[in-house]
Structure 1
Amino acid sequence: MTRSTRRAETTRESRRLLLEAATALFAERGYRRTTFEDIAARSGVSRGSIPWHFGSKEGLLAAVVDDIVVHLAAVAGSLDPGTVDQVLDTLTAFTRAPSTGLFAKLMVEADDPESPLRETYAGLHDALRVQVRAWVARLPLPEGVAAEELGTVLLGAVIGIHQQWRVAPGAVDLDRTYATFAALLRSAGITAPAD
């Protein structure tokens, strides 16, 4: 292995560790309360590497969001539109993932019109809508139901379920809630039942 190859691997590994640490810390503490020092300590990568890789804290957040969107796009692309149970399992796992707590934290911080997070959070919602709409467009939809609007409604439902569960996990049974959600979709003829 050449020196430049080792250096490139070390750079990729440092970036990955920083992204993982930032994702976890932003989800736990929020964007504003997380410092470069926190991220460096969690990742084991020097603090000075953060601006080198990402330019700024906002650049790091954008990279975290991009990383999540890429992962979600891969998951959404693998979903069989006729397999409700697969979609249900994916939604439940997505909601329970620790990194998904980031969405709830960001929403509170991005609500302020002056927040530097507002644009990033809006971009995250745009990307999620694209993924949901792409999945919905593959479904047999009832007459009068447009994929674009249904995608927005479904994403809104998932975000609402997620936020309720994050705030009061003892009051929201995810398995039963998503099973009810799937039953509603089936009864409306939005998707075929799983085999």
Structure 2
Amino acid sequence: MTSTPRAGRRAETTQESRRLLITAATELFAERGYRQTTFEDIAARSGISRGSIPWHFGNKEGLLGAVVDHAVVRPLAGEPDTLDEALDTLVAFTRSPSTKLFATLVGEAVEPGSAPHKWYADLHESLRRRISTWLGRADLPADVNADELATVVLGAVVGIHMQWRIAPDAIDLNRTYDTLGAVLRSVGIT
């Protein structure tokens, strides 16, 4: 069975609506936070009807998941082959306007039971596992555990990102990540 031109256009319109809603929600969550952003705000910013949001995402938490996937998970999806590649990815990720979302929602994320709390916890766990797997390929000193080093690395990256978002003129992102690279090279990461 082949699809009709009308079905193809409908699918394109659906994807475009979804993209516009995710873009608007990303911007608004980054500007106002998750709790302070309403479906009405997202509809007004996106130009898509308010009723489309639950149709596409189920609820506000489903929309948050789509936003996180778009703004955080996908940009960090690739597996770097080298430390330099990983650091370049981190610099680009930190500079991305959509990652302001990551910094804005952290205040809400510290509250157990909040929607941002769950996705932050899940995201951090996933990132620690990925970093640990990557670090495990290196010849680490016997007293350095890959899982614990992954926590340290993620902590450094999150801290660098937060400091840069708060005072971008005070943080030289390239030099800071170069310094992180030098520290990791000192324990055998290449």
Q: 1:62 aligns with which of 62, 65, 69?
A: 65
Alpha-carbon RMSD across the aligned residues, in angstroms, is 1.8
Give the TM-score of the pair, scaled to structure 2: 0.88
Please list every run of at least 4 consecutive aligned residues from structure 1 whose deviation after the TM superposition is greater than 4 angstroms: none
Partner of 1:117, secondary structure, is: helix
1:132-143 → structure 2 map (5 Å cutoff): 132-143=131-142
User: Which residue number in structure 1 is paired with residue 14 of structure 2?
Assistant: 11
User: Which residue number in structure 1 is paired with residue 56 of structure 2?
Assistant: 53
User: Contact 1:73 / 1:131 at 8 angstroms: preserved in 2?
Assistant: no
User: Which residue number in structure 2 is paired with residue 30 of structure 1?
Assistant: 33
1:80 and 2:81 equivalent?
yes
Deviations 1:124-176 (A, max 9, x none): 21222233223222333222322222111100110011111111112211111
CA distance in 2: counterparts of 1:74 and 1:165, whole angstroms: 22
Give the TM-score of the pair, scaled to structure 1: 0.86
User: Contact 1:27 / 1:101 at 8 angstroms: preserved in 2?
Assistant: yes
Q: 1:121 is aligned with what amino acid? A: Y
Can you give the 5+ residue segments of structure 1 that lack an aligned partner in the other structure?
none
User: Contact 1:69 / 1:127 at 8 angstroms: preserved in 2?
Assistant: no
Deviates more, 1:128-137 or 1:64-73: 64-73
Q: 1:41 aligns with which of 32, 38, 44?
A: 44
CA distance in 2: counterparts of 1:183 and 1:116, whole angstroms: 36
Structure 1 pair 95/69, CA: closer, same or farther in 2 (3 Å)?
closer
Q: Which structure would you say has the larger RCO, counting Cα contacts within 8 Å and 6 or more residues apart?
A: 1
Partner of 2:112, secondary structure, is: coil
C-alpha deviation, 1:22, in angstroms: 1.1
User: Contact 1:95 / 1:162 at 8 angstroms: preserved in 2?
Assistant: yes
The percent of aligned pairs where both chains have the same amino acid is 63
User: Contact 2:54 / 2:60 at 8 angstroms: preserved in 1?
Assistant: yes
CA distance in 2: counterparts of 1:28 and 1:87, whole angstroms: 28
User: Contact 1:19 / 1:64 at 8 angstroms: preserved in 2?
Assistant: yes
Partner of 1:139, secondary structure, is: coil
Deviates more, 1:130-139 or 1:4-13: 130-139
C-alpha deviation, 1:73, in angstroms: 4.6
CA distance in 2: counterparts of 1:172 and 1:18, whole angstroms: 32
CA distance in 2: counterparts of 1:168 and 1:125, whole angstroms: 23
